Structure 1
Amino acid sequence: MGLLEIGGLLLFIMLLMLGGGVWIAMTLAIVGWVGQAYFTNTQPGLNLFSSFWETASSWELAALPLFIWMGEILYRTKLSEQMFDGLSPWLSKVPGRLMHTTILGCGIFGSVSGSSAATCATIAKVALPELDRRGYDKSLALGSLSAAGGLGILIPPSITMVVYAVAADTSVIRLFLAGFLPGFLLMGLFSGYIIWWSLRHPDKVPPAELPTTFWQKIHRSGSLIPCGLLIVFIVWVLVAGIATATECAAWGVVGSLAIAAAGRSLTWQNFWQGLVGATRVSCMIMFILAGAAFLTKTMAFTGIPRELAEYVQSLNLSPYGLIAVLVVVYLILGTALDGISMIMLTSAVILPLIEKAGFDLVWFGIFIIMLIEIAEITPPVGFNLFVLQNMTGIDSNRIARMTLPFFGCMVLAIVLITVFPDIVTSLPNWFMGVER
Structure 2
Amino acid sequence: MTFRFMNYIKRLRQTEGIGGVIINFINSPKFLIFLLLIAFIIIPAQALSPLWVSNLTEIDQDIQDTSGRHFLLFLAISDDGKTIATASFDGSIYLMNEKGKVLRNITAGNESLEILSLSLSPEGDYLAFSDAGFSPASNPPKKITLMDRNCEELWNHPTRTFTYILAVSSDGLYSVFGSYENITCVDKDGSVLWNYPEAAVSLDISDDFEYIVAITDNQKAFCLNRSGSVIWENKFRSPNNIKISADGNYVSLTTTLRKLYLMESTGAPLWNKTLPPGTKYAKSEISSDGDEIVVRINGAISGYDRSGMLRWNYTKEPASIFSLSKDGRFSVVAANDSLLILDGEGNETGKFSFDEKIQGVAISSDGSKIAAITDNELYYFDNPDAELKNSDITPDETLQTTGPEEITPPATETKKSPLPVLIIIFSMGLAVLFRR
The alignment's TM-score, normalised by the length of structure 1, stands at 0.22
More strand per residue: 2
- Structure with more contact order per residue of length (Cα contacts < 8 Å, sep ≥ 6): 1
Which protein is richer in helix relative to its size? Answer: 1
